[in-house]
Amino acid sequence: MLVKGYVLNKELKYLWIVLMMAVVTIYGIENSGLTTIMGSYRYNYILKPSLWIGLGIIVWKLPNVRPRSKLKHRGNINLWAFNFAVIFIIVSVIAGLFEGIGRSPYNHSISGIIHNLVFVAPKLVAMELVRNYLVNRLTKTEKYIVFILIALFMTMVSFQLSRFTRLTDYESIIQFIGQFFAPEFSHNILATYLAFVGGLMPPIIYMGLIQAFYWLSPILPDLKWITVALIGTLAPMFFLLSIQNIYLVQSKKVKAREKEKESPLSWMITSFFSILIVWFAVGVFPIYPSAIATGSMEPMIYPGDVILVHQNIAISELEVGDVIQFQRGSILISHRIVDIEEEKGAITGFKTKGDNNSVADSELVKPEYVRGKIVQVVPKVGWPTLLVRSRKDINLDEIVF
């Protein structure tokens, strides 16, 4: 029995390589162009689901691997996986309320929903079975290099090969990484950690709910790629930090501060508002903050004040007396409009002046350089920003005082 057990363990030692090769093989078949031979329907709804179902059955039949957490803790981890998915969907929908909501491109008839499930579910379940086996076979401790490599592998095979071959210039590469690759990688890092501590179900719940939203919802957020990059990268990383802390506390690997029990509602609220704060700070909302470094607009705005800039204001709505923020070279300037020049009824430029300056600015501000209109001043809260910012970042010679 000992010898047989040893032989079995030896045979299983490198089985994770075989599983990864199986995934790569199916990935290659998916990108082989068989759709032109078999037809789109048989290819997408018969061959591909059959391959993933077959892989899933194989992994399911393998000897069980145990996640890190005890059985009594797994229900709580499942609940948090559900909470994280719901928070992510809510934040995405709120972003859509500001940037736009569009109709889903997918078929939402009964037959369409069934076809979508057949197309998505087998791959989702099979990949999570593989993820669970890989992470819990390769490590019994929190080795983040293992988590990262597994997440990177899962991310690579989630995109069609043609997505990579179309990346022909620097701009397309940056946009692809920000809009697609980085968010998918962040989701996979979180899902891998969920599999490590909770087993198969938490990542299926988390990834499944998010995919169900995008495939089954009749309306979807129509977001700018930079917004997708921000939410898709920041939210899963915040969730990862949260579940690490929750797991360490509930498993008594660290003591809860003053033995306080964290309420799921409080964690959800904290996660939600933390994401919104960072989101607001980087300018995703129509109104964004900007710290002021000079005194050219005293006494309205002093150095160290933060201004709130409405960035979606129509150029035609700007009037003499409005304070605008505009770009000149590599710097942002906030001055008051003192005159508007027009040609054939179209605005060609704004003449601006700082309230504390003796003369107007020497250059007209063209409409395309206007960033927005100042709608509010928050005194003094920008001093920390100025303290950590190098003075070389601001060329004061370009500003008229």
Q: Work out the pLDDT band at 176, boundaries 50, 70, 90.
A: confident
Residue 353 to residue 25: CA distance in whole angstroms? 65
pLDDT at res. 321: 93
Residue 193 · residue 242 · CB < 8 Å? no
Q: Domains of the chain by range and CATH?
A: 2-281 (no CATH), 288-398 (2.10.109.10)
The H or E element containing residue 276 is helix 264-281
Concatenated DSSP letters of 49-88: HHHHHHHHHHHHHSPP---SS-HHHHHHHHHHHHHHHHHH
Contacting residues for 331 by C-beta, under 8 A, at least 6 apart: 394, 395, 398, 399
Backbone dihedral angles phi then psi of residue 251, each to the nearest 5 degrees: -90, 5
310-328: average pLDDT: 89
| Contacts of residue 223, Cβ cutoff 8 Å, sequence gap at least 6 | 92, 95, 96, 99, 100, 231
Percent of the chain residues past pLDDT 70, beyond the cut: 83
**Is residue 272 predicted with pLDDT exceeding 70?**
no
> What pLDDT does 335 receive?
94
Does the pLDDT of residue 7 top 80, yes or no? no
Give the pLDDT confidence score for residue 78 in this predicted structure. Answer: 93
List, in order, residues 6 or more apart from 179 with CB less than 8 Å away. 225, 228, 229, 232
Confidence band of 394 (pLDDT split at 50, 70, 90): very low
Identify the pLDDT of residue 256: 45
Among 28-42, 163-177, 334-348, the range of highest mean pLDDT: 334-348
* Eight-class DSSP state of 261: P
| Phi, psi angles (nearest 5°) of residue 33 | 85, 20
pLDDT of residue 284: 56
Band of residue 396 on the pLDDT scale cut at 50, 70, 90: very low
Q: Which of 41-45, 170-174, 278-282, 302-306 has the lowest mean pLDDT?
A: 278-282
The average pLDDT across 265-283 equals 55
Q: What are the pLDDT digits (tens) for 180-220? A: 998 999 999 999 999 999 999 999 999 999 999 999 898 89
Q: What is the mean pLDDT of the chain?
A: 82
In this prediction, residue 308 has a pLDDT band, given cuts at 50, 70 and 90, of: confident
- Interatomic CA distance for residues 351 and 371, integer angstroms: 15
Single-letter amino acid code for the residue at 151: A
Taking 90 as the threshold, does the pLDDT of residue 255 lie above it?
A: no
Question: Rounded to whole angstroms, how far apart are CA atoms 218 and 203?
Answer: 24
Summarize the confidence of residues 116-133 as an average pLDDT: 93
